[in-house]
Amino acid sequence: MACLIEVGTHLVLDAELAGCRTGEVTLVNRLPRSLGPGELVLADREFLGVPLWRACTDSGADLLWRVPANRILPMERMPRDGSWLSRIHATTDRAHRDPVPVRVFAYQLHGTAREDEDYRLVTTLLDARRYPARQLAALYQERWEAEAVFAELKTHQRGARTVLSSKMPDGVLQQIWAHLLVHHALRELMVRTAATRGLDADRVSFTETLRSARRSVTVTPGAFPPEVLVRALVLLQRDLPERLLPRRRLRSQPRVVKRKMSNYRLKRAEHHTWPQPTCTGARAVTIQRPQPANP
């Protein structure tokens, strides 16, 4: 499954499903249909490609994507904030006749356990005065909110010992879409509840919302008349603000796994006491100014 997720609300705006032989990049190519003007799309480095980039920008959306370390992005001009203007080309455009203009910037995150790691981003936002590199770099960190959405779907909502029960592909797809619809309904309720109280949606607990919703709909098992659902919604909106989450603390986790089944390093004893960030967002970002090449 590949999803288009709204960072601030955790709402799944669109999704594409396929079998295990279909890769993420193939699925993501179908998601620009749900993009539009005024949106900023964040994506990881494996998705950077000119066809997908153009499909997204044709919708009117702006992009902020990470760049693979081996991607060469020559400097054409460097604004004052340390970013630089460059161009990317499709792999089929060997003569470089149809370039795509982008703005690039590199940075490190100080005050974290990954101070020596280098990051590079490319964006359609070419105006360095209106969109400073430091602010965009701090914003890109919010992309990891998508992992919380997958945890909500796969762990909390689905249940620890519950699996997709259908033995047929169409049935499995139907169950996954049902899970996505339930998640969207819960998150929509959380967003509306937060808006009525002037709160950040992050302060409303997903697990508390899920428990409350389950209690509300099991009062009359097997029947969901409209008046029952309306009453359940009213009760949820009344109860949720009384069980708010505390404001988020600064957190960081090592990129390791308990079992060696991926390219990440194996989790060891030193990773249990991982150093936590000492500053937030833009304060941690240090833009790395590139050195102009000699003529």
- pLDDT of res. 3: 95
Average pLDDT value for residue range 213-235 = 67
CB 102 within 8 A of CB 64: no
Beta bridge partners of 77: 85
Highest mean pLDDT among 70-74, 120-124, 144-148, 283-287: 120-124
- pLDDT of res. 292: 65
86-103 tens-digit pLDDT: 999 998 888 888 899 999
What sign does the CA torsion over 187, 4, 154, 141 have?
negative
Strands 62-66 and 84-88: unpaired
Average pLDDT value for residue range 131-147 = 93
- pLDDT of res. 58: 96
For the chain, give the percent of residues with pLDDT over 70: 89
C-alpha triplet 206, 254, 139: angle, nearest 5°:
60
Whole-angstrom distance, CA of residue 54 vs CA of residue 46: 16
pLDDT band at 270 (very low <50, low <70, confident <90, very high): confident
Go through 76-102 and write b for each residue having 16 or more CB atoms within 10 A of its CB, e for each that does not. Answer: eebbebbbbbbebeeeeeeeeeeebeb
Residue 65 has pLDDT above 70, yes or no: yes
The larger pLDDT score, comparing residue 268 to residue 89, is at 89
Work out the mean pLDDT of the chain and round it to a whole number.
86
pLDDT band at 113 (very low <50, low <70, confident <90, very high): low
Whole-angstrom distance, CA of residue 186 vs CA of residue 75: 46
Whole-angstrom distance, CA of residue 180 vs CA of residue 38: 25
Whole-angstrom distance, CA of residue 145 vs CA of residue 135: 17
Residue 233 has pLDDT above 80, yes or no: no
| DSSP state letter for 77 | B
Both structure tokens of 294? 């000699």
pLDDT band at 53 (very low <50, low <70, confident <90, very high): very high
Report the range of poorest mean pLDDT among 22-36, 215-229, 279-293: 215-229
Nearest to 122 by CA among 73, 173, 193, 195: 73
pLDDT band at 261 (very low <50, low <70, confident <90, very high): low
Residues 6 or more apart whose Cβ sits within 8 Å of residue 213: 186, 189, 232, 236
For the chain, give the percent of residues with pLDDT over 90: 46
pLDDT band at 241 (very low <50, low <70, confident <90, very high): confident
The model carries a pTM of: 0.82
Residue 220 has pLDDT above 60, yes or no: no
